[in-house]
Structure 1
Amino acid sequence: MKKVTYRNQISKVLGISLVVFLLSSISLFAQNEVVAEEPAATEDASSGDAVKGKQLFNQNCAACHALNRKMTGPALANVEARLAEDEGLDREWLYAWIKNSPGMIKSGDAYAVKIYNEYNQAAMTAFPTLSNADIDNILAYTVPVIDNGGEKETKTIPIVSNEPGISNEIILGALVLVFALLVMMLFLVNKTLRRIAEANGVVVADENAEERTPIWKAFAKNQFLVLCTVIFLLLGSGYFAYGWMMQVGVDQGYAPIQPIHYSHKIHAGTNKIECKYCHSSARKSKHSGIPSLNVCMNCHKSIYEYTGVAGEAPSQEDLANGYTNDFYTGEIKKLYAAVGWDEENQKYTGDTKPVEWVRIHNLPDFAYFNHSQHVEVGKIECQTCHGPVEEMEIMYQYSPLTMGWCINCHRETNVQVEGNEYYAKIHEELSKKYGVETLTAAQMGGLECGKCHY
């Protein structure tokens, strides 16, 4: 069997293909933005003062026009020369158009109607106060003149075309597909040639086979790659460490199991019990407070068992979670045991057992939050921070309660001005200062550090 040396041509071919690919990309992307040079003005630019024209252009034209690109209106670089060449229009037409464009559109002027339809049927503002000399100055500014060794010549300004074309994403996708097909074809050709060689008794040997080193050794010897990898790993580790530390103390979704199961879904949802009936201290205190068991007994002296919602059977989800009528009745019995209630004799025995409730919402000690300020003064609904409690079978922390979350609320929440005597004076002063009827909590000082940190 004849042995020949096989030189790996794939890398060379791929290299050439990559160059062709890049050149094709550059040429195609360049076609997507067409730059056309406008011809120089045919009239002498000295017929107007370009310096005065620039001032007039900025005062009257710059809001809708630019020299070298399309805005609300067309680009105005060399506009007179372009109209003369393309439409056969002279400066007199420009005088009439600039001074009374709506009138020319109504008169049926062909080019005036064409421009009107092209630009969303919005007529250009008329400038009857501009004289012919003013317009000459503006036109002189649209045809810049440069000094070339003492001789003045007209400068041609490129106009960037904004005409729609094939999007860059489609072109790039097509090129990537072509490149992938090229690589696949080269692979198949190489594989076919090897099979033909083997069928003819030719052994293809790679002359560089003996010189190859394991990838890990090559990587270890390349100090640049090692340095880049170490930097990447350090940055990645720092990113994930920062993300982990930012979650410290954020207990969103925390839903502990309480010693006595209390269903907000039944009490606040089905029975429509107001939140502040149980959490009464939220009206006058910084804390909402844990309701005392005596508040529970206001109702449960008479409600000693749970019979469900009248006319409704327990849902399959509740049954799957074990929330049956007997389950809720058993929780009521736990309440009786905790307060020392003799159900048979309808009296308290004095034998109480404290309930060790598990706290759910817990702000850091250095953060100050006043429930009464938000609930009574700000008229903020409990659900704003605590979520849809009327739907919660097990109470959980709905909001992240982070500093950024609170600040964002202060920036977006309007303070209720009407009928709020607490802020009557400061509302009036700030309304005069900011000139608005509604004020956000941030404008009322809700972003000051001392408001929450003391």
Structure 2
Amino acid sequence: MKKVGNHKSFSRIFFSLALTLSLSLVSYSQEEAAADAPVAEVAAVTGGDAAKGKELFNANCAACHKLDAKATGPMLRGVADKYETAWLYKWIKNSAELIKSGDALANKVFEENGKVPMTAFPQLSNQDIDNILAYTSEPLPAAPAVTAVPGGAVSDSGSGISNNIILGALALVLLMLVVMLFLVSNVLNKIAKANGIEVAAKEKSLPLWKAFAKNQFLMVVSTILFLLVSAYFAYGYLMQIGVDQGYEPIQPIHYSHKIHAGDNGIDCKYCHSAARVSKHSNIPSLNVCMNCHKNIAEVAETTATKEYSKEFYDGEIDKLYTAVGWDKSTQSYTGKTSPVKWVRIHNLPDFVYFNHSQHVTVAGVECQTCHGPVEEMEIMRQHSPLTMGWCINCHRETNVKVEDNDYYKKIHDELSKKYGVKQLTAAQMGGLECGKCHY
């Protein structure tokens, strides 16, 4: 018994040391992370508030200017160092008037930027302009330095210990605990054997398959159940052939419906304009994209998420520029284009007739009815099964909209009188006839 007591005492001491080591490693990691956290620095320019200047810049200047790249107008970071403040007051409030006055510098700037007229901002006070100049005078933020560590992990250059080392140490502690438990079990078994204590052995029983094979009733019932279950799953598998619900392919250019249709509220039919007048809903041409992205070369910092960084989104916009042949540095088309091989998501069999304009324009069906909440989708996917049964159920349950819809008024009045109802479903108006959807 003395040996057992010593062994238990040693186990408690070892467990305490292991727990202390684990907590110390976690605590050290948190302290290192807190010590390495970047300290926000606010650059201030005499006479101006950079924070207010950023708001004014985004509201008045961002449509044509960027801080660190040429857009419709020149880049504006450090513009306060290039020109006198008094001259900038005049230029920003009314550049056209300054040019007409014969000002040599104004005419030079006008010539250098392709004679593109600048919008006048007489509503901005001198203090407002000072705030904008303070914002444009902020230094370019430096990217945090990172250091690659073995195993593909990346850690901050100032960190004293990596996450991989901490996890490895914790794994080693857990492994040692498992070994100790195994040793304790062996020691206890030896002590029990030395003291004449027998460990109860498991009683042997008749094998289950032999007991089952001797019962003919169970065999028959089990066979029937097996055949029924097999038929059920086989039928379910066969019925899923050609059904691509949930299909979510990766496109050559990442397009976020969440950002465009959700955050920015762009109407689906602005890009898919053919859905209103045609059987097919068109894939938007890249020229439609350039209506906005001619002046939007990067996303806002608030757009970035844990899965997708700002650099990722900006890189996808660069892919768009490469495809259409747009040089954002010169703000001109190069003529060198390359096709984008989009991957089709929604596809019906060739023997099925479906008319987008009939549903979108005539029936007033919302795009989300079939395509799901696209405004929430980062990557577009097939939301509905698009099966025959799914379409038929929709026709049976959906009342025809006749308010301000002269297309259905006459037939609706006649059939409502025939069926003795006020509201007709698409099925009651012939929506279940085979020839409606099949040639």
> Hey, what does 1:216 align to over in structure 2?
209
Q: Shift of residue 215 of structure 1?
A: 5.0
Q: Is residue 2:429 matched to residue 1:436?
A: no
1:66-94: CA deviation from partner (whole Å, max 9, x where unpaired):
xxxxxxxxxxxxxxxxxxxxxxxxxxxxx
Pairing partner for 1:376 from 357, 361, 365 = 361
Q: Is residue 2:292 matched to residue 1:291?
A: no
Q: Shift of residue 246 of structure 1?
A: 1.7
Report the Cα distance in structure 1 between the residues aligned to 2:209 and 2:373, rounded to whole angstroms: 56
Q: Is the 8 A contact 1:338 1:352 kept in 2?
A: yes
1:250-280: CA deviation from partner (whole Å, max 9, x where unpaired):
2222211111111111111121111001000
Q: Shift of residue 449 of structure 1?
A: 1.4
Report the Cα distance in structure 2 between the residues aligned to 1:438 and 1:244, rounded to whole angstroms: 38
Q: Is the 8 A contact 1:252 1:399 kept in 2?
A: yes
> Hey, what does 2:10 align to over in structure 1?
none
* Structure 1: tracts of 5 or more residues without a match: 1-208
Which has the larger strand fraction? 1
Amino acid at match of 2:340: V
Q: Shift of residue 392 of structure 1?
A: 1.3
1:3-50: CA deviation from partner (whole Å, max 9, x where unpaired):
xxxxxxxxxxxxxxxxxxxxxxxxxxxxxxxxxxxxxxxxxxxxxxxx
Q: Is residue 2:233 matched to residue 1:240?
A: yes
1:78-122: CA deviation from partner (whole Å, max 9, x where unpaired):
xxxxxxxxxxxxxxxxxxxxxxxxxxxxxxxxxxxxxxxxxxxxx
Q: Shift of residue 372 of structure 1?
A: 0.5
> Hey, what does 2:305 align to over in structure 1?
319
> Hey, what does 1:227 align to over in structure 2?
220
Alignment of 1:376-415 (within 5 A): 376-415=361-400
Q: Shift of residue 232 of structure 1?
A: 1.8
Identity of aligned residues (%): 74
Report the Cα distance in structure 2 between the residues aligned to 1:272 and 1:344, rounded to whole angstroms: 29
Report the Cα distance in structure 1 between the residues aligned to 2:271 and 2:359, rounded to whole angstroms: 17
Amino acid at match of 2:372: G
Amino acid at match of 1:431: S
| Larger Rg belongs to | 1
Q: Shift of residue 224 of structure 1?
A: 4.2
Report the Cα distance in structure 2 between the residues aligned to 1:250 and 1:384, rounded to whole angstroms: 18
Report the Cα distance in structure 2 between the residues aligned to 1:451 and 1:229, rounded to whole angstroms: 46
Question: Normalising by structure 1, what TM-score?
Answer: 0.49
Give the root-mean-square deviation of aligned CA atoms.
2.1
Pairing partner for 2:299 from 306, 315, 320 = 306
* Structure 2: tracts of 5 or more residues without a match: 1-203
> Hey, what does 1:279 align to over in structure 2?
272
Q: Shift of residue 221 of structure 1?
A: 4.8
Report the Cα distance in structure 2 between the residues aligned to 1:267 and 1:242, rounded to whole angstroms: 41
Deviant stretches of 4+, over 6 Å: none
Q: Is the 8 A contact 1:417 1:438 kept in 2?
A: no
Amino acid at match of 2:314: T
1:331-386: CA deviation from partner (whole Å, max 9, x where unpaired):
11100111112223333222211111111111222222111000000001111111
Task: State the secondary structure of the residue aligned to 1:450.
Answer: helix
Q: Shift of residue 296 of structure 1?
A: 0.6
Report the Cα distance in structure 2 between the residues aligned to 1:395 and 1:249, rounded to whole angstroms: 19
Report the Cα distance in structure 2 between the residues aligned to 1:272 and 1:263, rounded to whole angstroms: 12
Report the Cα distance in structure 2 between the residues aligned to 1:373 and 1:388, rounded to whole angstroms: 21
